[in-house]
A = this chain, B = another copy of it.
Amino acid sequence: MELKKIYTQFEPELLELLEEKGMHKTFAAGEVILRTGQYIKSTALILSGRVKIYRENEEGGEFLMYFLQAGQACAVSMICALQADTSEIMAKAEEETEVLLVPVELMESMMTKYRSWYQYVIQTYRSRFDEMLTVVDHIAFQNMDERLEFYLKRYAEQTGKKMLELSHQQIADDLNSSREVISRLLKKMEQQGRVKLHRNLVEVVK
């Protein structure tokens, strides 16, 4: 995908600069883009695909925070990039994903020179922070059934599909739960006519 088609708010000059200095890279589905503890040398702008941002626990559970899609950027990579620091989270391509890697050295000058970039960075922080707040709310205040419901709803919205290609195990991992619990809750939802269950596939009815 072309940068300027997605990031329409950027000045032409900024777009040129990004194209000139940035590096295009494509990640296959399932490939890890950023690893906990990894040193960050660039900020990733997403051009296509979908990236899962998650936190790993000791047993390798992948607790989902949020997804990133075209037009979004990894706030963590921005913050870290600005200080050439290490990351505390994991990022993985959920499907084939195209990114533009912008070298960390450019960050500061772009911030001062291009208003649209400045706005974009600020807005990115803001959105990610809000998303983190939502995550906290959910795990602090909600039961698993409500969280599952939100999860499916968001997943359907973000992929634009009603057929979610997910195994119960995957869902359990994302919610830091266990397969049996998810199976039971899904079954209950099916009995209430809110989903239909198939192998490796959850169909959202409403």
Give A contacts to B, CB under 8 Å: 55, 57-58, 63, 65, 75-76, 79-80, 82-83, 85, 88-89, 108, 111-112, 118, 122-123, 125-126, 128-130, 132-133, 135-137, 139-141, 176
**Which residues of the other chain, B, contact A108 by a CB distance below 8 angstroms?**
118
Taking chain A's interface residues, is the majority helix, strand, or loop, or is none over half, making it mixed?
Answer: helix
- The 3 A-B residue pairs with the shortest CB-CB distance, nearest first, are A112-B112, A132-B132, A79-B126
Known: A108-B118, A129-B79. A139 touches B139 (CB 8 A): yes
Considering only CB atoms, which chain B residue lies closest to A122 in the complex? B82
Contact B130–A55 (Cβ < 8 Å):
no
Chain B CB within 10 A, most for which of A79, A88, A137, A139: A79
Number of copies: 2
Considering only CB atoms, which chain B residue lies closest to A81 in the complex? B122
Contact B141–A140 (Cβ < 8 Å):
no
A3 → B minimal CB distance (Å): 24
Contact B80–A126 (Cβ < 8 Å):
yes
Chain B CB within 10 A, most for which of A82, A126, A133, A139: A126
Bound Cα distance A111, B122 (Å): 11
Contact A140–B79 (Cβ < 8 Å):
no
Residue in B85, B118, B130, B176 whose beta carbon sits within 8 Å of that of A88 in the complex? B130
Contact A65–B122 (Cβ < 8 Å):
no
Contact A57–B141 (Cβ < 8 Å):
yes
Contact B83–A141 (Cβ < 8 Å):
no
Bound Cα distance A134, B75 (Å): 16
A42 → B minimal CB distance (Å): 16
